[in-house]
Amino acid sequence: MPSKTPSRKRAARAAQPRLATRMVHGGSVRSQFGETSEALFLTSGYSYESAEQVAARFREDEAGYLYSRFGNPTVRMLEERLMALEGAEDARATTTGMAAVMASMFCFLRSGDHVVSSHKLFSSCRYIIVDLLPRFGVASTLVEGQDLAQWKKAVRPNTRAFFLESPANPTLDVIDIAAVARIARAAGAKLIVDNTFTTPVLQRPLELGADIAVYSATKHMDGQGRLLGGAVLGSRQYVSDHLANYVRQTGPTLSAFNAWALLKALETLPLRMAQHCASAAKLADFLAAHKNIVRVYYPHRKDHPDYKVAKKQMQSGGSLIAMELQGGQKQAFRFLNALRLIKISNNLGDTKSLITHPATTTHQKLPPAEQRAANILPSSVRLSVGLEDVADLQEDLEQALCRI
């Protein structure tokens, strides 16, 4: 007769549902009406049963909401679903991805501190590290992210944070997060990882040893080009000691409506990412074999410089492809302008396939020498593969490449 006592594995599954289930049900709180879809609380403030109650809430002696800049039930449902996705103890949602990057550092850094960062970054992230932080007395050092010796050498007694993107924007360089995390830990610094390109579906920085993960939820998490949003995830102590009060006082708070839309989008995120990645892998192989392509960068192709690291820490190669075309900027523009289905846009992670020329868009403010150092060439383009039929995408790329 079989035992009525569930096995430890079955009990663990009951306590922690699988990913797709967490994305449908995680963080859900129902009102007295028992709605099946998450409720949208469009309110700026809250009322109280007594003056004593509101005083207790402001003293944090009683749980409850005070003002939607501090917290909102719909936004909190999103934060808890993201925590379930990432495996984080706590989180705060923000207005944009860049607000998340800003909050992740400014909430705990002080004048006199030092930050070490990989130099291959989205231009706005680079602006915060290189231009903005030094205005407030926080020094920064840029390193080659894949060179662990450079991370170690850059550490100073006042180093408080490491920052990196992996894969990096737009070149898709992959950094060994676990190895950098060990260096950061030895230095007493917090490692912050911008994980926007992969989402936690493909890569979880906190499991690899990072202290803080930041996201532009505008990208794959929404995935439909509708809204702006961001998130910062980390330990309960980091959020309570630093992040929560920073967000409360400075106000980069996500709107309840955008939080609600993101909750609905997360329900399909695992399905969408699987299709994005499958199509991107096929197109990367097609592009690599084309005579008018000099080189393709896709993390799960064996010819990617960081292939071994990417296979170790990424569940698949992602939805982004970087490539170098034959010729220079003129030929790159000719190619972009010939595309019929794929749209020219500096956004990414959409259901629609999008393509951009980083040297004249996302990274155009970098001086030419710094663009070259980051491997951003006049012939470079970045493709974000959407959910269209992959055969249609391949045909569109083929006809446009023939124009070069």
First to last CA, the chain: 71
Residue 382 has pLDDT above 80, yes or no: yes
CATH tag, 18-266: 3.40.640.10
Global pTM value = 0.93
223 and 351 Cβ atoms separated by less than 8 Å:
yes
What confidence category does residue 7 fall into, taking pLDDT thresholds of 50, 70 and 90?
low
Structure tokens at 256: 């309840």
Strand order through the sheet with 343-344: 293-297, 320-325, 380-384, 354-356, 343-344
Outline where 255-382 has alpha helix (H).
256-266, 269-288, 307-313, 329-338, 368-373
Residue 218 has pLDDT above 70, yes or no: yes
Residue 9 has pLDDT above 80, yes or no: no
Report the run of H or E that residue 52 belongs to, with start and end.
Answer: helix 51-58
Q: What are phi and psi of 221, to 5 degrees?
A: -60, -45
Percent of the chain with pLDDT over 90: 88
Long-range contacts of 212-218 (CB under 8 A, 24+ apart): 212/104, 212/238, 213/86, 213/88, 214/97, 214/100, 214/101, 214/104, 215/82, 215/97, 215/100, 216/96, 216/97, 216/98, 216/100, 217/93, 217/97, 217/262, 218/96, 218/97, 218/347, 218/349
pLDDT tens sequence across 285-334: 999 999 999 999 999 999 999 999 999 999 999 999 999 999 999 999 99
Q: DSSP label at 374?
A: T
293 has which bridge partners? 325
Parse the chain into domains and list their residue ranges. 18-266, 270-401
Provide the 3-class DSSP secondary structure of residue 384.
Answer: strand
Q: ω into residue 170 within 30 of 0, thus cis? A: yes
Architecture of the domain delimited by 270-401: Alpha-Beta Complex (3.90)
Residue 12 has pLDDT above 60, yes or no: no
The one-letter amino acid code at 89 reads E
pLDDT tens sequence across 147-202: 999 999 999 999 999 999 999 999 999 999 999 999 999 999 999 999 999 999 99
pLDDT for position 372? 85
